[in-house]
Structure 1
Amino acid sequence: MNLNELGAYKHKVASVFANDPDIIDVLLGPVDEDADTDEMLLGNDPDSCGHIFEYEYVDDTNETTDTYLCMETVVAKVPTTTAYRVYLYIFVYCHKKIMQSYKREGTVGTRVDILAADVDRLLNGSKDFGIGKLNLVSNDVYKPNNKYYGRCICYEAVDFNRRNSR
């Protein structure tokens, strides 16, 4: 992996999230079958500011009670020249007023608990993000401001260190 690939890496993760029916339901609620959920989730719809961001998004002036799923990557070089260790941080958070308002049959917990479990179901152990499996490193409390609460989940992937083709 080269640093110029990190944008594509995050875009791939965002796409996985935007295409999962459970994540769509947590973030948007019930939607019409013909609705373009990609536009609503990714902020390309004039009626939606977006819910999935390929960076740590926090709007301190936001007056809505929304749920967000954000991500960031950090690369740490491993002791050899052949591989990189990539840390994928997932920020799952929502307005405190709606923390208890989401229910799904067969699940227990707050909106953030359920969304974090959905994220983990899709990412933990996946072989689609580097050499070997994507592994859970940590799961910590995330408080972007006094109205929102959530989790910061960190995964680790290892990928080849390829030389630039220039």
Structure 2
Amino acid sequence: MNPNSTLPGLADVAPPPPASPITLRINGRDVRLQLAPWTTLLDALREYAGLTGTKKGCDHGQCGSCTVLVDGKRINSCLTLAVMQEGHDITTIEGLGTEHDLHPLQQAFIKHDAFQCGYCTPGQICSAQGLINEGKARTEAEIKELMSGNLCRCGAYVGILQAVKEVVDKELKIKN
């Protein structure tokens, strides 16, 4: 037994691998980070890249608070490793609009009072942009179904639906 070990059987356990440099393309910018291989994309964004708009909710992919866009598709950032996203285009809520130039979804969320505490709002907006990118949501029923992975503990679903529907309808008019 290792004299420095306090637990029997741990004498020959290998140390974890060291952090490695990776480059993530976040909001149109290359960001170089030193990360352990098991670091989730969510933790890389919040703890290492300083982008705290993406929220940690359940950390199990059940609430949608951590939703971001990867190559335009919505994903739960708590369920993917950061190293798996190297070479992909990651968009967070910070990349969708600015304080002085709000994204249409951000404007619609304000207009329709689609939030109360605001904790879920970044994930809701990223998910809504993802469903717009997918082009599958046209009706309220389709929007509800496609947004069902994003939970709002405050119950602002009516406003969220109105906001997303408004932007979906504008997108459909532009395409037609």
TM-score w.r.t. length of structure 1 = 0.31
TM-score w.r.t. length of structure 2 = 0.30
Higher share in helix: 2
Higher share in strand: 1
